[in-house]
């Protein structure tokens, strides 16, 4: 009797798993008190049913502005011979995705949370979904001077140069100092 079968009170019962797909020989012997026996030999064939793929990797859920990010989704399928296809269904614009492999470098405008959905599917259409959020952390960006200095001055004449600056990280808590 295969290991997934039990025999209780003359009845066979059990639930085969994917590991038991295939043919299994069963031999049942009945005997009486006088020692007479009868034997029944047969084969149980366990047919495969399609199982959905399983996502086997753990997503990288944090990224840093101006730093390269990458994550490769991996998946498997217990069904022998099944090919798993990975597709990105939701990806932020700063990422590229090829067959479940994400890569990109978030900019200052990408600081915050971004949803990602990657689907693993097999040829029979069964699917598993990897849904997660990537949180992009801000980094301090240096301020920029965007004006062009006035480089000529005349003796005995007032000189003036209005300095124009910007900072991608500027907010109400920032302070600026311009020194010469």
pLDDT of res. 142 = 81
pLDDT of res. 163 = 85
pLDDT of res. 72 = 97
Share of the chain above pLDDT 70, in %: 96
CATH of 54-137, one of 1.10.3720.10, 3.90.700.10, 2.60.40.10, 3.40.1350.10: 2.60.40.10
- The whole-angstrom separation of Cα 2 and Cα 54 is 27
What is the pTM (predicted TM-score) of this model?
0.70
Mean pLDDT of the chain: 91
- Distance of CA 51 to CAs 17, 44, 74, 126, 137, Å? 11, 21, 16, 7, 38
Domain ranges in the chain?
5-46, 54-137
At 22-76, the pLDDT tens digits run: 999 999 888 999 999 999 999 999 998 999 999 999 999 999 999 999 999 999 9
């Amino acid at each position: 009797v295969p290991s997934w079968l039990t025999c209780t009170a003359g009845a066979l019962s059990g639930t085969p798993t994917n590991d038991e797909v295939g043919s299994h020989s069963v031999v049942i012997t009945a005997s009486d008190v006088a020692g007479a026996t009868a034997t029944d030999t047969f084969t149980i064939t366990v047919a495969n049913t399609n199982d959905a793929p399983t996502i086997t990797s753990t997503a990288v859920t944090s990224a840093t502005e101006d730093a390269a990010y990458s994550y490769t989704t991996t998946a498997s399928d217990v069904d022998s011979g099944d090919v798993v296809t990975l597709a990105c269904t939701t990806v932020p614009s700063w990422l590229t995705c090829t067959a479940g492999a994400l890569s990109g470098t978030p900019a200052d405008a990408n600081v915050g949370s971004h949803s990602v959905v990657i689907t693993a599917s097999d040829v029979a259409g069964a699917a598993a979904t990897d849904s997660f959020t990537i949180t992009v952390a801000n980094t301090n960006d240096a301020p920029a001077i965007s004006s062009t200095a006035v480089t000529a001055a005349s003796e005995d004449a007032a000189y003036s140069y209005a300095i124009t600056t910007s900072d991608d990280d500027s907010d109400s808590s920032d302070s600026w100092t311009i020194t010469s």
